[in-house]
Structure 1
Amino acid sequence: MQFGIFTVGDVTVDPTTGRKPSEAERIRAMIAIGEKAEEVGLDVFATGEHHNPPFVPSSPTTLLGYLAARTERLILSTATTLITTNDPVKIAEDFAMLQHVAGGRVDLMMGRGNTGPVYPWFGKDIRDGVALAVENYHLLRKLWREPVVDWEGKFRTPLQGFTSTPAPLDGTPPFVWHGSIRTPEIAEQAAYYGDGFFHNNIFWNKEHTEQMVRLYRQRFEHYGHGSADQAIVGLGGQVFMADTEAEAKKRFRPYFDNAPVYGHGPSMEDFTELTPLTVGTPEQVIERTLGFADYVGDYQRQLFLMDHAGLPLDTVLEQIEILGREVVPVLRKEFELRRPEHVPSDPPTHGSLVAAGPDSPHHLVEPARERVLAAQQEGEKA
C-alpha cells in the first residue's frame, strides 16, 4: 500500500503569530515537504493545481520536476490536474516530459477543480464541467497511446496528423487517478477505463465516501476489469499528532478555528467525529486510519494533508516525521494482514505497467469493446 503527502499550496496566515509566508517561502516549504516525505520512507508526494490566490501551485510539473532531481524513490503525483481547463495536448506533453525527467516516478490525478472562476479565465464554461472532463480525458488517452492523432470534438480545435512529443517513457503512459468528491460521472469514468478512483474525503462523512467508492467498484466490475474489491482506490486524510490527545488539540485548535475552509464553522470535536480529521496521538491516528477500510474496502493509496491552515513549516516537518516513523510502518503491516490475496496491495507503477507489456489493457485508448459489451450483457441477464 502506498502512503504519502498531498498539499494544496495555500498561503495562509499563522493565527498564533499573525505572520503570513510569502509565495516564495510557501513554494520552498512545499519542496522541503516533498524531500521530507522521501526521507521518512513515504511513497508519494502530490501537489494540487490552483490558478488563484491564496494558492501558489499553478505549475505542478515545474515543482515536481525540481523534486525529481532532489529525490530518488518518491512517486511524484498531483492532487488535482485540471482536466477541464487545461488543454489535453499540454497535459500530454508536460507529464510525458516529467516521466522522462523523473525516470518514470510519475502518476497524476485528474479533477474538475473546486474554483468556479477558473473556467472563464481559460475560456471555458463551468456548466460544461463534466462534459469537458469526459471529452478532454479521452483525447489525452489518444495522445498518449497513438503515434498520430486525428481528432475532432466539441471543446477544442480539431487535430489532424498530430504527434505529441515526447512520447511517454518506454511507450507507457502514466497511471491516472480520477479524483472526485461528489460527482458520480467521474467515478463512472474511472471505472470505464479501469483507472484509479481517489475520493478526497477530508471534508466528508464516511457514509458519503462509502457511497461514492461503492459506485466506482460496482462499475469497475461491470466493465470487466476485475472484481469490485480489486478496483484501485485512494483516500485522503488529515491528522495532527502529539504525545497526548489533549496536547494535540491544544496545539491544533487555533489553526482549525481560523482555517479558510472549515474555520468558524463546526467545532473541532464535531468535525473530527464527522470526517477523517484526526487530532490526537499516533496510536489514535493508526486506529482511525485502519477503520477507513471497514467502509470503503481494502484500498491502495492513502494521502495525508499536513500543511494546511497556516501551520509553520517546522511543525509540518515534525508531523511528517511522526507519520513516517511511528504511524505508517504500523499501517503498512496491519493493512496487509487484512488484505485478501487477490486484492492488489499497490496501485500500478511505471515499472509494473511496463512489465505488463504493450498489449495490456492499460495501453488501449478505450477498453476492449467486446469485453465491455460482454460485461454489459451479463449485467442485463442478472
Structure 2
Amino acid sequence: MQFGIFTVGDVTPDPTTGRTPTEHERIRDTITIARKAEEVGLDVFATGEHHNPPFVPSAPTTTLAYIAAVTERLLLSTSTTLITTTDPVRIAEDYATLQHLSDGRVDLMLGRGNTGPVYPWFGKDIRDGVPLAVENYALLRRLWREEVVDWEGRFRTPLQGFTATPRPLDGVPPFVWHGSIRTPEIAEQAAYYGDGFFANHIFWPASHTRQMVALYRRRFEHYGHGSADQAIVGLGGQVFMRHNSQDAVREFRPYFDNAPVYGHGPSLEDFTSQTPLTVGSPQQVIERTLGFREYVGDYQRQLFLMDHAGLPLKTVLEQLDLLGEEVVPVLRREFAARKPVHVPDAPTHATLRAAREHAAPSLDELGARAVAAER
C-alpha cells in the first residue's frame, strides 16, 4: 500500500500570528515538504491545480519536475489535474515529459475541479463539466496510446494526423486515478477504463464515501477488469497530531476555525465526528485510518492533507516526522497483514511496463500499427 501526502497549496494567514506567507515562500515550502516526505519514508507526494487566489499551484508539472530533480524515489502525482479546463494535448505532452524527467516516477489524478469561475477563464462552461471530463479523457488516452491521432469532438478543434510528443516513457502511459468528492459519473468513468478511483474523503461522512467506492467497484467488475475487490482505490484524509491528544486539539483549533474551506462552520468536534478529519495522537490516527478499510474494503493508496489552513512550515515538518516515524510503519504492517493475496498493489511504471511486455497486443494497438504501416 502506498502512503503519502497531498497539498492544495493555499496561501492562508496563520491565525495565531496574523502573518501570511508570500507566494514565493509557499512555493519554496512546498519543495521542502516534498523532500521531507521522502526523507521520512513516504511513497507519494501530490499537488493540486488551482488558478485562483489564495492558491499557488497553477503549474503542477513545473513544481513536480523540480521535485523530481531533488528526490530519488518519491512518486509524484496530482490532486487533481483539471481534465475539464486543461487541453488534453497539453496534459499528454506535459506528463509524458515529466515521466522522462522523473524516470517514470509519476502518475496523475484527473478531476473536474471545485472552483466554478475557472471554467470561463479557460473558455469553458461549468454546465459541461461532466461531458468535458468524459470527452477530454477519451482523447487523452488515444494521444498516449496511438502514434497518429485523427479526432473530432464537441469541445475543441479537430486533430488530423497529430502525434503527441514526447511519447510516453517505454511506451507506457502514466497510471490515471479519477478523483471525485461527489460525482458518480467520475466513478463510472474510472470503472469503464479500469483506472484507479480516488475518493477525496475529506468533507463528507463515511456513508457517502462507502457509496461512491462501492459504485466504482461494482462497475469495475461489470466492465470485466477483475473482481470488485481488485479495483484500485485511493483515499484522502486529514490529520493533525501531537503525542498528547489534548495538545493536538488545542493547537489545531484556531487553524480549523479560520480555514478558508471549512472555517466558520461546524465545530472542530462536530467535524471530526462526522468526517475523516482526525485531530489527536498518532495512535488515534492509526486506529481511525485502519477503520477506513471497514467501509471501503482493501485499498491501495492513502494520502493525507497536512500543510493547509496557515500551519507554519515548522509544524508541518513536525507532523511529517510523526507520520513517517510512528504512524505509517504501523499502517503498512497492519494493512499488509489484512490484504488478501489476490488484491493488487497500486500500479507503478515498473509494474505497468512489465505487464505490457508480457501482454498480447490489444485490438487498438494492432489497428494503430496497421494505420502506421499504411502511412
Q: TM-score, normalised by structure 2?
A: 0.96
Question: Which whole-Å CA distance do the structure 2 matches of 1:113 and 1:361 have between them?
Answer: 36
For residue 11 of structure 1, report the CA deviation from its aligned partner. 0.2
Indicate the residue corresponding to 1:170 in structure 2.
Answer: 170
Cα distance between partner residues in 1 of 2:179 and 2:245: 31
SS in 2 for 1:276: coil
Q: Distance in 2 between matches of 1:364 and 1:108?
A: 25
1:364–1:251 Cα change, 3 Å: farther
The residue that corresponds to 1:183 in the other structure is: 183
* Alpha-carbon shift at residue 25 of structure 1 (Å): 0.3
1:232 maps to: 232
1:277 aligns with 2:288: no
- Cα deviations by residue, 1:7-34 (Å, 9 ceiling, x for unpaired): 0000000000000000000001111110
Mark the CA change 1:10 to 1:365 in structure 2 (over 3 Å): closer, same or farther: farther
Residue 372 of structure 2 corresponds to none
The answer for the alignment partner of 1:377 in structure 2 is: none
Specify the alignment match of 1:106 in structure 2. 106
Contact 1:173 1:363 in 2 (8 A): no
Q: Which amino acid aligns with 2:102?
A: A
The alignment partner of 2:26 has SS state of helix
Give unpaired runs (5+ residues) of structure 1. 367-382
- Cα deviation, residue 360, structure 1: 4.4
Measured at CA, do residues 241 and 365 of structure 1 come closer, stay the same or move farther in structure 2, by a change above 3 Å? farther
Partner of 2:48: 48
Distance 1:259 1:213 in 2: 28
- Match for residue 117 of structure 2? 117
Closer, same or farther: CA 339–73 of 1 in aligned 2, 3 Å = same
Q: What one-letter code is carried by the residue in structure 1 that aligns with 2:150?
A: D
CA contact (8 A) 1:13 1:21 kept: yes
CA shift, 1:357, in A, is 1.6
Distance 2:34 2:200 in 1: 19
- Aligned twin of 1:17: 17
Equivalent residue runs for 1:195-206 within 5 Å: 195-206=195-206
Q: 1:41 is paired with a residue of what secondary structure?
A: coil
Matched residues in 2 for 1:365 and 1:270: separation?
51
- Per-residue Cα deviation, 1:317-374 (whole angstroms, up to 9, x for no partner): 0001100111000000001111111111x210000000012574997869xxxxxxxx
- State the number of aligned residues: 366
- SS state at 2:207 partner: helix
Q: Pick closer, same or farther for the CA change 1:51–1:305 going to 2, 3 Å.
A: same
Q: Is the 8 A contact 1:353 1:362 kept in 2?
A: no
The DSSP-based 3-state class of the residue aligned with 1:327 is helix
1:65 maps to amino acid: A
Aligned partner letter, 2:269: E
SS state of the match for residue 236, structure 2? strand
**Counterparts in 2 of 1:309-328, with a 5 A limit?**
309-328=309-328
Give the aligned partner of residue 368 of structure 2. Answer: none
| Cα 1:50/1:361, change in 2 over 3 Å | farther
Q: TM-score, normalised by structure 1?
A: 0.94
Letter in 2 for 1:351: A
Quick check: 1:141–1:365 contact (8 Å CA) kept in 2?
Answer: no
2: distance between equivalents of 1:196 and 1:53? 30
Residue 79 of structure 1 aligns with an amino acid whose one-letter code is S
Could you say which residue in structure 1 is the equivalent of 2:349?
350
CA distance in 2 between counterparts of 1:204 and 1:361 reads 42
Please list the CA deviations of residues 14-57 of structure 1 after superposition, one character each: whole Å capped at 9, or x if unmatched. Answer: 00000000000000111111000000000000000000000000
Q: Distance in 2 between matches of 1:351 and 1:27?
A: 30
Matches within 5 A, 1:75-86: 75-86=75-86
> Could you tell me how far 1:210 is from its partner in structure 2?
0.1
- Does the aligned pair in 2 maintain the 1:5–1:303 contact within 8 Å? yes
Structure 2: distance between partners of 1:148 and 1:44: 33
SS at 2:68 equivalent:
helix
Equivalent residue for 1:245?
245
- RMSD of aligned alpha carbons: 1.4
TM-aligned CA distance change 1:217 to 1:232, over 3 Å:
same
Name the CA distance, whole Å, in 1 between partners of 2:182 and 2:361: 26
Partner of 2:145: 145
5+ unaligned residues in a row in structure 2: which ranges?
366-375
